[in-house]
Chain A
Amino acid sequence: MLLSFENVSLSYPPHHAVLDDIDFNLHDGGFYFLTGPSGAGKSSLLRLIYQAEKPTKGRIYLFGEPMTGGDREALAAIRRKIGIVFQDFRLIPHLTAWENVALPLRLTDASEAYIQKHARELLEWVGLGDRLDAAPSELSGGEQQRVAIARAVVARPRLLLADEPTGNVDDNTALKLFHLFDELNKLGTAVILATHQSHLVESFNKPALRLAGGRIRG
């Protein structure tokens, strides 16, 4: 099992419920959409998965292990198995596109030669082979998005979480990005992709969790 939510709730003080009694199971190697309107709780659910938040109630199992959040070394190890595409990209502004993509590999024992080669390959894969040395400020929103995707997948994560990865691009580019995620999924990485663009989701034959008002609907 990849991920299990057991009656998980999340609320912020004093009484603002974001997620309410969420219960689902996702299988290893799957491709899942997480859909719902803005403010439905998609980002919060993803934050629970990569443990930037702790549930107010319920239990979460990731890679078959309960997420307790006690051991920081174990938490770091789990996070290295997860690739995250943030809604706001979170690229480090003073590093080049290539250095940003290489960052997750530098947290592993990968050799410098492997890092050099693989980060370059990933940028070529997302169509930015000619922008290796560009700073994020020199890239368009769509290009920054692709750098963020390359960074999320460069270390071959077991699970990829993408939070509105197509929010800043047109439908055509969005479909191309979805196909990139699909390619990655075929290589064995499970994908959970949060988006509010339901018309794009419908063109892909993948299971979807629909969130509305902090609850799973269908």
Chain B
Amino acid sequence: MSLPRTLFSPAFRARHLGRSFAVIVGIMVFIATFATAAETSLLALGYDWGKTMESRITVEIPAVGDESDMSQADRVQKAIAILRAMPEAGLVIPLSDSEVAGLLQPWFSEQDLLKTLPLPTLIDVIRKPGATLTADQIQDRLRSVVGDAHVDDHGAWLQDAWRLEHGLALVGGMMIVLTAITLFIAVTLLCRTVTASEHETIGLLHLLGARDRDIASHFQSQAERLAWRAAAAGFVIALAVTAALMYCTRHIVDFSTLTPLRWGLLAALVSLVPVGAIGIAAVTARLSVMRHLESLS
């Protein structure tokens, strides 16, 4: 069956219905693509960062005064030796004084003050993959040499960070679902207007013996052609805006840490957005005509 391509064109042209249809699809694809790209990339970064932090335990060795039996350097060396001897500790990395000062820098307006303060020494212990080494176990092992060492597995604030991340994911997901619902409603209303103005043509095709599914498919393909162009435009603009934002925020968020595999997954996920929008528009257009046809005897 090959009905003329222009069969429903006047209805789509009338009162700019076709243009409105395209603009709605384009805007919805833009919003959904932007939300998906932003959400998935931030989630991926957050996940990677969280995993890194989960495998890390930080040992803080407080600074000691000159009256102490053992110098700070000796305490640190002994602690490092104990930590490196632990089979489940993969890497033991002491932070330099400047790195520790760097961590405190945002809280001190006068930089010279940092040089006079007795800063603790920090040692990062990175667990081997699958290791069950805990902060308490490390604390026990260090007790005999540096009893005042404080060991932190970042558990308390990591949990808050996870909660925040999951909350953001939920909000992002809801935005995408709401966009899809809005698209469905807008396309339904537009298609009802189009089918109402093409009532005569649809009725005639029905009386000439056209099958419902053939009329619906023809209408759907016309809506699909419009949706493709609009979705492509919305998608490209959203990607451009996302790329520009990533570039502008590169000093705050380091996207270079994402692996090529992660980029590939993100690209696949984001490219589902226009496909999904076109699918929603096409199915909605089809359902609108089928509903109209059901009202015809």
Contact = CB atoms under 8 A, between A and B. Distances in A.
Interface of A: 50-54, 69, 72-73, 76-82, 84, 90, 92-95, 99, 103-104, 106-109, 112
Contacts of A77: 209
B9 interface: yes
Q: Which of B6, B10, B201, B207 has the most CB of A within 10 A?
A: B207
Interface in B1-53: 1-4, 6-7, 9-10
Nearest to A82: B209
Contacts, number: 62
Contacts of B7: 92, 95
B4 A107 contact: no
Interface residues of B, number: 21
A95 B8 CA distance: 10
B212 A103 contact: no
B297 interface: yes
Nearest to A96: B4
16 contacts: A51-B297, A72-B211, A72-B212, A73-B211, A77-B209, A79-B206, A79-B208, A92-B7, A99-B4, A103-B4, A104-B208, A106-B2, A107-B3, A107-B214, A109-B1, A112-B2
Contacts of A107: 1, 3, 205, 208-211, 214
Interface secondary structure of A, over-half rule = loop
Given A52-B297, A90-B200, A92-B201, A79 B4 contact: no
A76 B211 contact: yes
A16 B17 CA distance: 40
B110 to A, nearest CB: 79
Contacts of A106: 1-4
Interface string B214-249: 100000000000000000000000000000000000
Nearest to B214: A107
Nearest to A81: B209
Contacts of A80: 208-209
Contacts of A82: 209
A69 B6 CA distance: 31
B204 interface: yes
A79 B207 contact: yes
Contacts of A50: 207
Given A79-B207, A107-B1, A94 B212 contact: no
Contacts of B209: 76-82, 104, 107
A69 B296 CA distance: 12
A53 B4 contact: no
Contacts of A69: 297
Nearest to A83: B208
B210 A76 contact: yes
B297 A95 contact: no
Contacts of A99: 4
The list of the 8 closest CB pairs from A to B, nearest first, reads: A80-B209, A79-B209, A76-B211, A107-B210, A76-B209, A94-B10, A90-B204, A104-B208
Contacts of B297: 51-54, 69
Q: Which of A54, A77, A81, A94 has the most CB of B within 10 A?
A: A94
